[in-house]
């Protein structure tokens, strides 16, 4: 295989990865949010349910989850 073919294949792979990452982060505006947090059971404010479609936790619990996940990565 020629070096130029390897570079072309690598570029295609990078483009596919970027496309998949973008698709994974797109927000589905039609998704339904939970009315109550699955962690603490408190009502999720309407503003959060509108701003974050498909949310299942309140902002406070989501912050704790993200902090714990970040600590696991370290």
| 56 belongs to a structural domain | yes
What pLDDT was estimated at residue 21? 84
Tens place of pLDDT for every residue, the chain, 74 residues? 788 899 999 999 999 999 888 877 776 777 889 999 999 999 999 999 988 888 999 999 999 999 999 898 87
What pLDDT was estimated at residue 28? 73
Count of domains in the chain?
A: 1
Which residues have C-beta within 8 Å of that of residue 35, sequence separation ≥ 6? 43, 44, 49
| 17 belongs to a structural domain | no
Take residue 49 and report the two structure tokens written for it: 């349910």
| 69 belongs to a structural domain | yes
Domain that holds residue 44: 29-74
| 65 belongs to a structural domain | yes
């Amino acid at each position: 295989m020629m070096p130029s073919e390897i570079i072309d294949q690598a570029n295609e792979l990078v483009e596919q990865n970027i496309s998949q990452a973008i698709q994974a982060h797109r927000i589905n505006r039609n998704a339904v949010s939970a009315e109550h947090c699955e962690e603490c059971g408190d009502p999720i404010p309407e503003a959060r349910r509108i701003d974050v479609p498909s949310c299942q936790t309140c902002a406070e619990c989501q912050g704790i989850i993200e902090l714990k996940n970040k600590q696991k990565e370290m």
